[in-house]
Structures are given as structure tokens and as C-alpha cells.
Amino acid sequence: MFHESYLENPVSLHYRIHPSSPRTIHTGCDHRVHYTQGGGNMAFNPVQRAMEMESLVMKGERRKYYRFRYSLYYGGIVTADTVGCKFLCAYCWNYFRNLRPKRAGDFLSPEEVAERLLEISKKRKCDLFRISGAEPILGRRSAEHVRKVIELVNNTFILETNGLMFGFDPSLVDLFVNLNVLIRVSVKGWDEESFEKITGASGEYFRYQLKALEHLHGKVHFWVAVVYDLFREKGLKELEKRLPIPCRIEKEYLEMYP
């Protein structure tokens, strides 16, 4: 089953900032991430965007992927890169593919995805897996696709998600019960305002990220990750006050895009 060590001590991930990202966030350190959305009337409904996105990146049970690779994160992990997200985070390293997912990738069935992952796994002697580049869980069809990939690779899978749809629809959590999966929930703010600035989505939807933690609790192994450059100690403390249950929090750091 899963390696407890990933829960206790996952290697911190680094977000890469694309230099031509059109949005700006001041991080309080050397980084400056660009954004023009994420305030006032321009904020969007991320649940609606998730549904629209799912219809663009899913065809039946096939999902769009544009790359398969071995990555050094987590001490080595076989990675499938997909497209399509309900947020438009200012620091997203895959910002433009997620903005226009129609142009990127090919539709692949869970069997095709698992086959490519297992090929790399064999070559690199690595039995840890993940999906990256976008949000894996956009609704039921994409969640069922991910569940099938996890079953087929039949080894430890780290599901990196922003968790919004687990908060919106608790029945999606049940798809991942009793699987060899660890869920890493990237929480995008410490309150409604910071959430809106970071994601471009309306602040009122922040509550679904918190709800997700409640829904996962006791069913699936998970932890919370935050971008510390944006949160700093103040944001972290504010988030701790809002967490519905005690959670381990991993700090991750921004990294300039090469």
C-alpha cells in the first residue's frame, strides 16, 4: 500500500513562474508574479469553469495529455502532464496551456495513460506516480478517469489537486477510498480575498477548498500544501485559524521559470 513517508515528509515542490504570465502578485520577496484578473467584477465562477473545462479536455473517458516524463520531485516520480484547470493562478507554470487547453495534447484513455506511465516506471525503476500540469479533478468524468489510471498503475499515486471539486461534490471523494493514493491539497489562499487574488476565481468559492478537507478527513490520506512566498507566516496563521480540521501543512516555494 502507500508509503507513509510521503505523508510525513513529502519533498517540497517548487512552482515555476512563467516570465510572460499576464497577472501580477507581489510576494513580499524577490518574486513578482503577474496578473490582471482576480479582483472586482472580473473574478470568475470556478465550479462553472471546471465543468466547461471538463467538456474541453475530456472525450468519453479519455483525457488530454501532452507529455509523459520522469521528474525528480518527491525523490523521483513518474509524471503524466495534462491540461485544464478551474483556476488561473498567477504563478502557474502551465498558465497558457491551461488558459487555452484546446490547443494542447491528445486524448488518451486510462489504459493508454497507464501504459505510458508503466513504461517509464520500468525504465527508471520508479514506482511512484502522479498527474501534473493542470487540475486532475474537474468533475465526475475526470475523477473517474484518474481513479482508473490509479487502479491500473497499481502502485503509490500522489494525487495533486486544489481540492475544489471535492469540496463542492463530496461524493467524488468516495471514488478514491481504498486506493493506493495520497492526496496533496494545494490551498490557494488564507481567506476569500487572497484566494481571489491568487486564483482569479471569486473569493466566495474559497469555502469549497476548506470543505474538501472536511470531506477527505477519515476517508483518504491527505495533507495541505501552500505557496509560502505568498502566504508568509501571517497567511499561514490565518489559514490555520480557518482549517476545519487539524492538517499537516507543507510549505512550497516559487521558482523562476528557466
What residue ranges bind ligand SF4 (CB under 6 A)? 85, 87-89, 92, 94, 98, 134-135, 162
Least separation, in Å, of the C-beta of 254 and ligand SF4? Answer: 11
Least separation, in Å, of the C-beta of 133 and ligand SF4? Answer: 7
Q: Which is closer to ligand SF4, CB of 25 or CB of 134?
A: 134
Nearest to 3 by CA among 106, 97, 128, 111: 128
Determine the number of helices (DSSP H) and then strands (DSSP E) in the chain. 9, 12
Least separation, in Å, of the C-beta of 86 and ligand SF4? Answer: 7
Beta strands in the chain (DSSP E): 14-17, 24-26, 32-34, 58-59, 62-71, 77-82, 106-108, 128-132, 156-161, 181-186, 221-227, 249-256
Q: Please report the sign of the dihedral spanned by the C-alpha atoms of residue 130, residue 257, residue 53, residue 207.
A: positive
Q: Which is closer to ligand SF4, CB of 121 or CB of 231?
A: 231
Q: Which is closer to ligand SF4, CB of 92 or CB of 143?
A: 92
Q: Quick one: angle between helices 192-199 and 228-242, nearest 10?
A: 150
Q: Tell me if residue 28 falls in helix, strand or coil.
A: coil
Q: Which is closer to ligand SF4, CB of 89 or CB of 181?
A: 89
Q: What cell does 102 get? A: 484546446
Least separation, in Å, of the C-beta of 119 and ligand SF4? Answer: 25
Q: Which is closer to ligand SF4, CB of 85 or CB of 213?
A: 85
Least separation, in Å, of the C-beta of 122 and ligand SF4? Answer: 28
- What is the spatial distance between Cα 145 and Cα 255, in angstroms, rounded to a whole number? 30
